[in-house]
Amino acid sequence: MLRNRTAIPQVPLEKETAVVHKPLAHDSARLHVSGAATYIDDIREPAGTLHIAIGLADKAAGTLRGMTLDAVRAAKGVVAVLTAADIPGKNDIAPAFADEPLFADKEILFHNQAIFAVVARSRDEARRAARLAKIDIDEAKPAITVADALETGARVLPDYEFGRGDAPAALGRAPRRLEGLLHIGGQEHFYLEGQAAFAIPGEGREMLVHSSTQDPTEVQHIVARILAIPDAFVTVETRRMGGAFGGKESQACAWAAIAALAALVTGKPCKVRLDRDDDFALTGKRHDFRADWRVGYDDKGIVSAYDVMLNARCGCSADLSPGVVDRAMFHAANAYWLPDVKVASRRLKTNTVSNTAFRGFGGPQGMLAIERVMDAIAHERGLDPLDVRKANFYRPGGDKTPFGQTVEDMTTLPSMIEELELSSDYRARRRAIEAFNANSPYIKRGIALTPVKFGISFTLIHLNQAGALVHVYTDGSIHLNHGGTEMGQGLFTKVAQVVAEEFGVPIDFVRITATNTAKVPNASPTAASSGSDINGMAAQIGARQIKQRMVEFACAQWGVTAEEIVFRDGLVLIGNKSMSFGELAKTCRLNRVQLSAAGFYKTPVITWDRATATGRPFLYFAFGASCSEVVIDTLTGEMKVERVDILHDVGSSLNPALDIGQVEGGFVQGMGWLTTEELVFDAKGRLSTHAPATYKIPVASDVPADFRTKLHMRPNIADTIYRSKAVGEPPLMLPISVYCAILDAVHAIRPGSQPRLEAPCTPEAILNAIQSIQTH
């Protein structure tokens, strides 16, 4: 039996560290495995806690004429029924554009939109009561698909484009041209812990909200806006989420606001935990796209012009779509030099739930399109797709992205591709696959090796800031808090490693505490892969302030120089004196030295002027490469991923064990997006894949039996925390090689053809692709 024991590698170091760069376990691992980690629904309920269920619109579009809620109010256990009329503040949960209400009050925006909430003594009673409402909606014809929206012309935001040169003219001059449409499906986050919030009213309109959110600060703002109270009256706390993946950024606000509203109205602690089906219906997903592309190239497959229109289905409101679609555009070139290029976008409005952040934030869709194009060129030219990719990489004289940022590190990715090509035995396996396919009429194999280049930094520049709060107590224990949230990625562990390293103490000296808007205010969402980059820096800055004060005190107290003081293994060596870290802390207190500090960090260098499409939006790029081999059944369209080799760039990893987890987990999640995970909306705008019975994320057997993950660890050229690199989102794009390998297998049926393979590659999509190239 082959054991896929992925070895946790050692980080190659110039300078030895004690805690940072070590493969420590997730700080909550022991709690997780014993069922002792507390999620929102596990918080012990104060007596009298009430429970909430949401009342849903049964139409996707139209006007709300009225509702009869008498039966709901009269139902067993019901304490209150809340509608838009009960909101003391503004009925608006939108992050920026005031285009999404908490409860529909006039226009119905999407099927199953929230219209009211029931507050009852038990969750079961609340759910049953919610179904007794009579909702009267004057139904209008909904726009559901990309095509519908293109027909209505509705947008959530204006179209936007950038580029270089004159792509249409360059296409006209190109020796060879291809064009196509690629449908790219959306994706449900399917965090295992559904949306949940628990609001506890305090004195004088204060409100404490436990929220499963990536963005406690935004939740605080929305709760304050709904309740019409100052931000300072609202405290939002998040210890951990049971998964988020972007789905608990803006999408966590509504439930926190409803819980807080219920708590305000009833004066009781109120909890909402969405049923899974409601969660599917009520929360946004990854945007589905239609990429309309044209490419010009020469006989060697070298691209001279690329013109792509990214039609993004944003759903009923803007939400985070401005950033998502911009990021799709930023990644439309992936790793390739495209001399004349036009990247355009439409932010389409439909009567569907508002699409939102999801790991990669649009980048995956932009990237998939150009990788599809590379295969199209290779197929037309009869070249190995890997050679076409390599021929188009950024290169001296061709080192600028379509948005004008210079790719400073041009060597890392090509060297990783070379390494993976060898270690995966790509060339020999391609030959073996060709030989197999020649003799196998029904079963075909395919292989692909694809690159990832992902820009790191929030493209909304002001979000690139972070705060941390560090206290040292007199026993030497350290209380750590920062604005980042823990959703499973191991952020808390990484930041604690940074702080422990700074004070020269073992990791268990550092007590990691729940993210709380009262401790670190005005934080950015934990998103854009930025968590450890910015919070790690902020915590290090905070810890260094305290350490500096301790050192200064020790110098004065014991007459030594700062160079003579070493913090190591929980001890402080002061000249020839040694004391425990706690003893020094205690002595500091007795001498009135402040042992608490707030750290603050803002990412340097980056700029972006959207109006002129100029600047440098990314501090650096994270790279990756993967090689996937698949087998397909041409009679049914069924597919299996047989082997995957990954080489992923994490800089000088803060924690190689956690990074391997992000890489493997991201790969499998992205593989699900491109294969089994299909969102189906019917003509009335109803999501018919609204539960795990119908929406299929990967299970253990979908993971390739031969799965080889390696980290590429060279210090980041940018000055990041310990020269590490962000790792949250980039691996999600590695399984584009799975899509391309499926395309390769289909293409093997009729070499030289251009199959139309849509994503996700369900058995039906694969059979359709096969049908698209069959001649009869």
Nearest CA-CA partner of 567 in 543, 598, 591:
543
Q: CB of 488: closest distance to another protein in angstroms?
A: 3
**Closer to another protein at the Cβ: 53 or 332?**
53
Catalytic residue among 583, 729, 758, 764: 729
Stretch that binds another protein, among 99-107, 302-310, 458-466, 662-670 (CB under 8 A): 662-670
What residues contact 675, with CB distance under 8 A and at least 6 apart?
639, 641, 698, 702, 738, 760, 761, 762
Q: CB of 8: closest distance to another protein in angstroms?
A: 8
- Determine, following the binding rule CB under 8 A, whether residue 285 of this chain makes contact with another protein: no
Stretch that binds another protein, among 153-161, 290-298, 653-661, 717-725 (CB under 8 A): 653-661
16 tagged catalytic: no
Stretch that binds another protein, among 23-31, 451-459, 574-582, 618-626 (CB under 8 A): 23-31
Q: CB of 246: closest distance to another protein in angstroms?
A: 12
Among 321, 401, 669, 720, binds another protein (CB under 8 A): 669
Using CB under 8 A as the binding rule, the residues of this chain from 542 to 581 that contact another protein are none
Q: Which DSSP category does 651 fall into?
A: B
Q: CB of 369: closest distance to another protein in angstroms?
A: 23
What residues contact 717, with CB distance under 8 A and at least 6 apart?
408, 409, 620
Bond prior to 760 in cis (omega within 30° of 0): yes
Residues 164-193: x where in contact with another protein by CB under 8 A, - otherwise, as a string = -------------------------xxxxx
**Adjacent-strand bridge partners of 609:** 614
Q: CB of 521: closest distance to another protein in angstroms?
A: 26
Amino acid at 583: E
Among 4, 10, 415, 607, binds another protein (CB under 8 A): 4
Contacts for 27-33: CB closer than 8 Å, 24+ residues apart = 27/490, 27/492, 27/493, 27/496, 27/512, 28/240, 28/486, 28/492
**Closer to another protein at the Cβ: 361 or 667?**
667
C-alpha radius of gyration, the chain, whole number: 27
Among 276, 549, 586, 756, binds another protein (CB under 8 A): 276
**Neighbour-count burial of 441, counting CB atoms closer than 10 A to its CB (0-12 exposed, 13-18 middle, 19+ buried):** exposed
Contact 748, 446 (CB under 8 A): yes
DSSP 111-156: TT-EEEEEEESSHHHHHHHHTT-EEEEEE-PPP-SHHHHHHHT-EE
Q: CB of 593: closest distance to another protein in angstroms?
A: 36
Token pair listed for 319: 């939400």
Using CB under 8 A as the binding rule, the residues of this chain from 243 to 262 that contact another protein are 243-245
**Closer to another protein at the Cβ: 16 or 442?**
442
Q: CB of 39: closest distance to another protein in angstroms?
A: 6
Q: How far apart are CA 560 and CA 574, in angstroms?
A: 7
Token pair listed for 12: 């190659």
Using CB under 8 A as the binding rule, the residues of this chain from 41 to 100 that contact another protein are 41-42
Residues 97-136: x where in contact with another protein by CB under 8 A, - otherwise, as a string = ---------------------------x--xx--x-----
Stretch that binds another protein, among 332-340, 511-519, 747-755, 757-765 (CB under 8 A): 757-765
Q: How far apart are CA 257 and CA 522, in angstroms?
A: 18
- Determine, following the binding rule CB under 8 A, whether residue 35 of this chain makes contact with another protein: yes
Stretch that binds another protein, among 347-355, 525-533, 545-553, 673-681 (CB under 8 A): 673-681
CA torsion sign for 457, 459, 465, 466 is negative
Task: Just list the catalytic residues.
Answer: 729
